[in-house]
Structure 1
């Protein structure tokens, strides 16, 4: 199952296991069970700390649990955790085997202190780059607290179960049999949902902090660069964002970040986070800004309020809240989000194996999505509002070569149709003839660009008609001491490399402002 190189790497990791445990597998006569058995045999062959039992009684087959002697640890996998989930498997092996996590002590104590019964079921796909964060967070929580269990399920392998529960987006999390959440989540975000007092405690800690010299709002590439450049100046720096990494976390392949030939979004985000932590930066993750109160006078303090009730003050601000997926804004779209309406073809594509789907948008993202999905689904219908596709010629050539793709141009999507539980089709208007047409399908992937995350700034910072923060050549806004960078601004070409540069520039401008005005 594992090649020699991977075995060598895994063997080195397994040397960190200090506490013996067993893998209990539940198998049947299927080829996938034999494939899983081969993987588990490879693992136990690399260390004397782990033993394998194949008499498991789990109804999901193939599956396996990781249990310490005489203890149900609460960590299980249904399926074969390879692809993006192989890291989740390795971490689970280490943590069940006694190797400590890198989680901070306060969070570990918070997890250990949670009372109640928490039975999590997490549906993932092997091609989803966001799923491992959820799987790893819940597995670690299960290892730390006996009241918590988590089984991670490969949705593509357990199609009947996915159909029954109408799982149409990953990661999808169930808690005690009920829908808990959908989408990427970190440990602290999960804790905030099950530990009701966590938000209030965070708010109190944040509000008690002294004013910063530079406060960065937003944790994407622009925000990370701004924080690093500010901290290197030796000034009091903080970064507060809704999720560290922003849209980059949802990016599968990155091939144009100069000096890095090829990487993946989550990998780049980890590198950015590690770089930020090399400096004295107060990082406050999972914090959504809700309002800006500009300083009353020059040299005064700006205040940012957050959804949890907290507020932070600073001499200068750098706004780098990025952008989010643009929605179609048609009837049925909100009702069927995660029930057939999706935004990430890499994550959710495998759940539509053998089904009919549509891709909305004919730019590079839309055409790339259609090409990827064509290898999984039975048929792809690509709808483009304009009368021509906007994607690069090489992508269009590939798209038109695929036998199971239909391209419809001058098409305006007007409605998402469904049966109350899932998507059953869409309606579009032919912009040439004004006729309405219905396409029967099971999934819709929206790829029509981004919207700036600037709603919370309306009435304070000057915005363009598109909602972007208007900045000058130095990244300055219309408010003295308030700067902005990245995809949320009017700077053209929304690229990671540009966002990093703009973040650095805004930070240098903020430092210059501090020198001159404070």
Structure 2
């Protein structure tokens, strides 16, 4: 099951086990059960602290296995084979059940351990989903820390009947005590904030009491992380307010154009960004959404947060990034996560053998159609323009696929459904004006990005597209307020460009400080 080099790596990790781990397999006579037993045997042979028990007559999903440790009340289970992106989740579960400490913040771990009540979580994942491991790993850790928390991670592609019955059409999808809890990427911090009802109020109270920052960064993506590092290295008081640290990078699959790094994945890069920022004395305020920007007569800028708290900076770097653009047609919102999806890597496996459409003929849309063609029965690619806009090499690959239909000069006008899931799409022929219906079960939207700047309207200068207008130094129309990344008018929305712009904005903010009457300027003069 496991390649020799992977076994060698696993053996090194399992040397960190501090106590025995027992893998309890629930299997039948099927092929997948045989594969699961082979996987568990490969794991067992890498450490004398790991043992395997086999059960065939229990009422658990088959194939599945529990990760346990004698004398410790841990209810943690994988239903299916946690390979692909989830293999890391399996390794972490083994280590944590075996007593290896988590690197999460001690205060967060204590908060999880102190949660009262019984929480039975079920998470549906796909092995190709880069968003799923964060959720699976967070809930696995919670199950290790708190005996009242139970978790099973379920491979949706393997348990297709179950997925259909519960109408799971997007991953990760999490159920709590039998009811839908949430969908999409979530960190342990976010999950605990939902369970611990007083957490948000405590966080807001803590933020309200913070001192004035020299540089306040709003946004935790590549631009925000670079700005925070460059500001902190100047020795000035730096803070970061982020709705989710990592930003849109968390939703990115393969990254192959980040110079000096031949290949990486978005979640891995996001974790590295946060780790780099935390090497410095930076105050990170996560899970905080900015709602308003105000500036007083002394040039102090206040950022008001959705939590009710406010935080102030002598200078501010806005790096709020962008999000997937929506079509804005009837049915899109109604059937979001019920057939309307935005991540083909994550949700594609749930549409195996079905018919889907991809809306958008740029690189993202064509790449999505190519990937989906290997999974689904048929792909219809719909492009508003009279020709595809993707790179020619991608177009050639797309046109070589037998189960793909390309429709250009087509405007999507409606997503259709039966009330619970998508069953069709309507588009208008822009040349002739006629409307056509396409019968299908899924719609993947790939039509670009929108800047996260609505909260800034009327405060500083925005372009007609809603992007923050900046000059060559990252300055906005407000003195002392800078901006960087995908939320700005700087062309070419790329990670490497966002990082450079974030660094430049932080240097611009520092230059502003030393040229003003701030304490930073007085220190520099001394």
Shorter-chain TM-score range: over 0.9
Which residue of structure 2 lines up, in the alignment, with residue 129 of structure 1?
130
Which residue of structure 2 lines up, in the alignment, with residue 85 of structure 1?
86
2:185 paired with 1:218: no
Q: Encode CA deviations 1:399-446: one digit per residue, 9 max, x unaligned.
A: 000000000001100001111111111111011111111101011000
1:59 CA drift (Å): 3.3
Which residue of structure 2 lines up, in the alignment, with residue 292 of structure 1?
293
Q: Encode CA deviations 1:258-309: one digit per residue, 9 max, x unaligned.
A: 1111211112112211211111111112111111112x224x3211111111
Which residue of structure 2 lines up, in the alignment, with residue 452 of structure 1?
451
CA distance in 2 between counterparts of 1:487 and 1:317 reads 16
Which residue of structure 2 lines up, in the alignment, with residue 405 of structure 1?
404
CA distance in 2 between counterparts of 1:332 and 1:194 reads 31
More moved, 54-63 vs 108-117: 54-63
Contact 2:358–2:443 (Cα < 8 Å) also in 1: yes
CA distance in 1 between counterparts of 2:472 and 2:332 reads 38
CA distance in 2 between counterparts of 1:69 and 1:58 reads 21
Which residue of structure 2 lines up, in the alignment, with residue 38 of structure 1?
38
SS in 1 for 2:254: coil
Q: Encode CA deviations 1:174-210: one digit per residue, 9 max, x unaligned.
A: 0000000000000110011111000000001111110
**Structural mapping, 1:145-224, within 5 Å:** 145-224=146-225
**Structural mapping, 1:431-510, within 5 Å:** 431-510=430-509
Q: Encode CA deviations 1:43-86: one digit per residue, 9 max, x unaligned.
A: 11111212111116243110000122255411100000011000
Which residue of structure 1 lines up, in the alignment, with residue 274 of structure 2?
273
CA distance in 2 between counterparts of 1:72 and 1:185 reads 25
5+ unaligned residues in a row in structure 1: which ranges? none
- Report how many aligned residue pairs link the two structures: 516
Contact 2:66–2:77 (Cα < 8 Å) also in 1: yes
1:385 CA drift (Å): 0.3
TM-score where L is the length of structure 1: 0.98
CA distance in 1 between counterparts of 2:21 and 2:315 reads 53
2:359 paired with 1:360: yes
1:253 CA drift (Å): 1.1
More moved, 506-515 vs 21-30: 21-30
Which residue of structure 2 lines up, in the alignment, with residue 62 of structure 1?
63
Q: Encode CA deviations 1:464-484: one digit per residue, 9 max, x unaligned.
A: 111101111111111100000
2:115 paired with 1:119: no
SS in 2 for 1:54: strand
1:21 CA drift (Å): 2.7
Moved over 4 A (4+): none
CA distance in 2 between counterparts of 1:161 and 1:315 reads 54
SS in 2 for 1:381: strand
Contact 2:361–2:381 (Cα < 8 Å) also in 1: yes
**Structural mapping, 1:87-106, within 5 Å:** 87-106=88-107
Which residue of structure 1 lines up, in the alignment, with residue 346 of structure 2?
347
Contact 2:21–2:94 (Cα < 8 Å) also in 1: no
Contact 2:341–2:444 (Cα < 8 Å) also in 1: yes
More moved, 477-486 vs 71-80: 71-80
More moved, 40-49 vs 217-226: 40-49
1:4 CA drift (Å): 1.4
CA distance in 1 between counterparts of 2:143 and 2:171 reads 20
Which residue of structure 2 lines up, in the alignment, with residue 324 of structure 1?
323
SS in 1 for 2:515: helix
Q: Encode CA deviations 1:95-151: one digit per residue, 9 max, x unaligned.
A: 011111011111111111111110000000000111000000000001100110110
2:62 paired with 1:75: no
2:392 paired with 1:393: yes
CA distance in 1 between counterparts of 2:436 and 2:12 reads 58
CA distance in 2 between counterparts of 1:104 and 1:497 reads 29
CA distance in 1 between counterparts of 2:254 and 2:182 reads 26
Tell me how large the CA RMSD over aligned residues is.
0.9
CA distance in 2 between counterparts of 1:206 and 1:124 reads 35
Which residue of structure 1 lines up, in the alignment, with residue 523 of structure 2?
none
SS in 2 for 1:161: helix
Which residue of structure 2 lines up, in the alignment, with residue 232 of structure 1?
233
More moved, 268-277 vs 224-233: 268-277
SS in 2 for 1:239: strand
CA distance in 2 between counterparts of 1:183 and 1:111 reads 21
CA distance in 2 between counterparts of 1:43 and 1:472 reads 56
CA distance in 1 between counterparts of 2:70 and 2:255 reads 44
1:15 CA drift (Å): 1.1
CA distance in 1 between counterparts of 2:198 and 2:227 reads 32
2:8 paired with 1:8: yes
CA distance in 2 between counterparts of 1:206 and 1:236 reads 15
CA distance in 2 between counterparts of 1:401 and 1:105 reads 53
CA distance in 2 between counterparts of 1:53 and 1:81 reads 18
SS in 2 for 1:13: helix
Which residue of structure 1 lines up, in the alignment, with residue 50 of structure 2?
50
TM-score where L is the length of structure 2: 0.97
1:396 CA drift (Å): 0.4
SS in 2 for 1:64: strand
